[in-house]
Amino acid sequence: MRRTGIEFNRHDYEYDVYSLVKAFIPEEEVVSFYSGESPAGEFDRLLRVEYGDDRILCVIEEQGRETLREQVKLTCPEDRFATKNLLKQTVYRMFSGLTGRTLPWGTLTGIRPTKLAMHPLEEGRSREEIAANLRETYFLSEKKTDLAIDIAVRERKILEGMDYENGYSLYVGIPFCPSICLYCSFGSHPLKKWRKRVDEYLDCLVRELDFTAGHFSDKKLQTVYIGGGTPTSLTAAQLDRVLETVATRFPMDEVREFTVEAGRPDTITEEKLAVIRRYPVSRISINPQTMNQETLDLVGRGHTVQEIVEAFHMARDLGFDNINMDLIVGLPGEGYGEVAHTLEQIRALGPDSLTVHSLALKRATRLHLFRDQYQEISFANSQEIMSLCEQTAAEMGMSPYYLYRQKNMAGNFENVGYAKVDKAGIYNILIMEEKQSIIACGAGGSTKFVLDRGNRIERVENVKSVEHYLARIDEMIERKRAGKEKS
Ligand code: SF4
């Protein structure tokens, strides 16, 4: 594997530059270090990044010989935002020239590109002005510029009437799954090992929910999301307990959306769906990820394509009129043909919304190890695949309504949520645009207090491990209390 080193003279922006370089050369190993350090091994290419009082200097050396140099004058060095942008623009130009590649999202390495369109929209700027800024400052492609602005416009409309100051959303985490998928980065716990302690977990969760309901009773609950893990991996009685706690302890009269992420079809039964129907749940998600059996087996999903179809029809028959389906593109061994097959099967089912994720190869996943072991299996994603998803969603009457990116995504693309009119997931937008506080209960829950109209965010994390959550539930509750006081 080719190696590229990045040598920095200062401890700023290292991660931004590293992510940008990695996006240009995902197939290479990229190592960053600081001047004076001696990283192990040789580099095929070295990027030296120097910036100081009045200039940015970037130099590329290959086989010890300087091949490219760019220097940019800093007119306002104390403006960190401008310095970072100029630095990323410089690195972008150099690597684009070197590799002959362009990146659809330009210099953007963050996960919330629509925020860059949302803010100026709120300030009343025109579409043309916003588009010009996205293209000139961040080098976004025309397609991604349009996508970011379209989504921001749609999000604003969907969020109309939400109370950002006095409203909040509730997340409830059920961190168990029947088996752990190869690509899982959520830290879910296998039921086989944890089954005996699920009730103990629910005891703690109910305590945390009780506290939250009381402590935030001065605020208006507006959306609820029960996610995981796989909430339907609970038994019908356990699921009933969670839903009953939420529906009776919290005021439901202002709730605009209540989602249960049913998730894995192998956990969905008529009995559990009937339990969900007894509560004011407005939206569920049944997640195939792919409709190709071979891939499902390969990534350890542990269910069949037939089970997906049956779970979907069962939910429709029981009256669920807002069903989301999640797909992943870039799964091992899948290319255009496999994704096209999945999309045709999904079209035949006719969900109300579709969320298309680009596979993110996170280091902490088993898939990362798998890729190293099975290098002959491809992990492909392309603009053609993304466009096919977009086109199929449009043919199903859906428009893109939220978008986010992750690090190490296959092909450096994005995750996009598509929905039919009035079927968009409001919670999804809130979490991405950081407009409203989200109080999260359960292991791995990450509470976000959104303050000063979104200009300040305070986070309160729950521990991820169920073991620690059970042992430290008082501390989790205390953290929430302290977080609210601080905010
Ligand atoms: S269903 Fe989701 S949360 Fe559960 S193991 Fe698979 S990826 Fe992880």
| Tens-digit pLDDT profile for residues 316-358 | 999 999 999 999 998 988 999 999 999 999 999 999 999 999 8
The last residue of a domain, from among 101, 121, 142: 101
Tokens of 424: 């968009």
pLDDT at 267 over 80: yes
Average the pLDDT over 236-263 and give the result. Answer: 97
Q: Is residue 159 part of a domain?
A: no
How far apart CA 168 and CA 425 sit, in angstroms, is 15
The last residue of a domain, from among 57, 74, 101: 101
Q: Is the CB of 184 under 6 A from ligand 1?
A: yes
Q: Is the CB of 228 under 6 A from ligand 1?
A: yes
Same domain, 403 and 382: yes
pLDDT of residue 369: 61
Determine contact, residues 422/158, Cβ cutoff 8 Å. Answer: no
Q: Is the CB of 188 under 6 A from ligand 1?
A: yes
Tell me how many domains the chain contains.
3
CA end-to-end distance (rounded Å), the chain: 48
pLDDT at 236 over 80: yes
Averaged pLDDT score across all residues of the chain: 92
Same domain, 11 and 147: no
pLDDT of residue 364: 57
Mutation pick for ligand 1 pocket among 176, 194, 230 (CB with most ligand atoms within 8 Å): 230
Q: Is the CB of 152 under 6 A from ligand 1?
A: no
pLDDT of residue 43: 94
pLDDT at 447 over 80: yes
- Which helix (H) or strand (E) element contains residue 357? strand 353-358
pLDDT of residue 276: 98
**Secondary structure letter of residue 266 according to DSSP:** G
Mutation pick for ligand 1 pocket among 184, 233, 287, 308 (CB with most ligand atoms within 8 Å): 184
Q: Give every strand in the sheet of 3-8, ordered side by side.
A: 29-34, 3-8, 45-51, 55-62, 65-73
Q: Which of 195-199, 279-283, 430-434 has the lowest mean pLDDT?
A: 430-434
Phi, psi of 169, rounded to the nearest 5 degrees: -115, 155
State in Å: Cα 78 to ligand 1 middle: 44
**Percentage, residues of the chain above pLDDT 70:** 95
Q: Is residue 475 part of a domain?
A: yes
pLDDT of residue 362: 61
Same domain, 233 and 253: yes
Q: Is the CB of 180 under 6 A from ligand 1?
A: yes
Same domain, 174 and 213: yes
pLDDT at 108 over 70: yes
State in Å: Cα 327 to ligand 1 middle: 13
State in Å: Cα 264 to ligand 1 middle: 8
Return the residue whose CA atom lies nearest to atom 2 of ligand 1.
Answer: 229
State in Å: Cα 228 to ligand 1 middle: 8
Q: Is the CB of 295 under 6 A from ligand 1?
A: no
Mutation pick for ligand 1 pocket among 174, 180, 193, 301 (CB with most ligand atoms within 8 Å): 180
Q: Is the CB of 181 under 6 A from ligand 1?
A: yes
Residue-wise pLDDT for 54-65, tens only, equals 899 999 999 889
Q: Is the CB of 265 under 6 A from ligand 1?
A: no
Return the residue whose CA atom lies nearest to atom 3 of ligand 1.
Answer: 229
Mutation pick for ligand 1 pocket among 174, 179, 181, 327 (CB with most ligand atoms within 8 Å): 181
Q: Is residue 45 part of a domain?
A: yes
pLDDT of residue 374: 60
State in Å: Cα 263 to ligand 1 middle: 8
Same domain, 257 and 144: no
pLDDT of residue 377: 65
> Whose structure tokens read 């716990």?
189
Average the pLDDT over 13-42 and give the result. Answer: 90
pLDDT at 201 over 80: yes
Q: Is the CB of 405 under 6 A from ligand 1?
A: no
Same domain, 312 and 358: yes
Return the residue whose CA atom lies nearest to atom 6 of ligand 1.
Answer: 181
Same domain, 131 and 27: no
Q: Is residue 162 part of a domain?
A: no
Determine contact, residues 177/145, Cβ cutoff 8 Å. Answer: no
Question: Domain of 141?
Answer: 103-154
Same domain, 350 and 469: yes
Determine contact, residues 328/183, Cβ cutoff 8 Å. Answer: yes
Q: Is residue 470 part of a domain?
A: yes
How far apart CA 292 and CA 160 sit, in angstroms, is 39
State in Å: Cα 229 to ligand 1 middle: 5
Same domain, 357 and 337: yes
pLDDT of residue 425: 97
Band the pLDDT of 378: cuts 50, 70, 90.
low
Atom of ligand 1 nearest to the CA of 185: 8
Which of 251, 342, 211 lies closest to 288, judged by CA?
342
Determine contact, residues 459/190, Cβ cutoff 8 Å. Answer: no
pLDDT at 181 over 90: no
Cβ count near 277 (within 10 Å)? 14
Q: What is the CATH number of the domain that holds 4?
A: 3.40.50.11830
pLDDT of residue 367: 65
pLDDT of residue 185: 81
pLDDT of residue 376: 60
Q: Which of 163-177, 183-197, 220-234 has the lowest mean pLDDT?
A: 183-197
Q: Is residue 186 part of a domain?
A: yes
Same domain, 107 and 214: no
Predicted structure pTM score: 0.89
Same domain, 91 and 119: no
State in Å: Cα 188 to ligand 1 middle: 6
Band the pLDDT of 38: cuts 50, 70, 90.
confident
The last residue of a domain, from among 130, 154, 178: 154
pLDDT at 405 over 90: no
At 311 the three-state DSSP class reads helix
Average the pLDDT over 228-239 and give the result. Answer: 96
Q: Is residue 241 part of a domain?
A: yes
**Secondary structure letter of residue 421 according to DSSP:** T
Same domain, 442 and 346: yes
Tokens of 71: 């220097």
Q: Is the CB of 264 under 6 A from ligand 1?
A: yes
pLDDT at 408 over 80: no
Q: Which residue has the higher pLDDT, 255 or 185?
A: 255
Band the pLDDT of 402: cuts 50, 70, 90.
very high
Q: Is residue 160 part of a domain?
A: no
pLDDT at 368 over 90: no
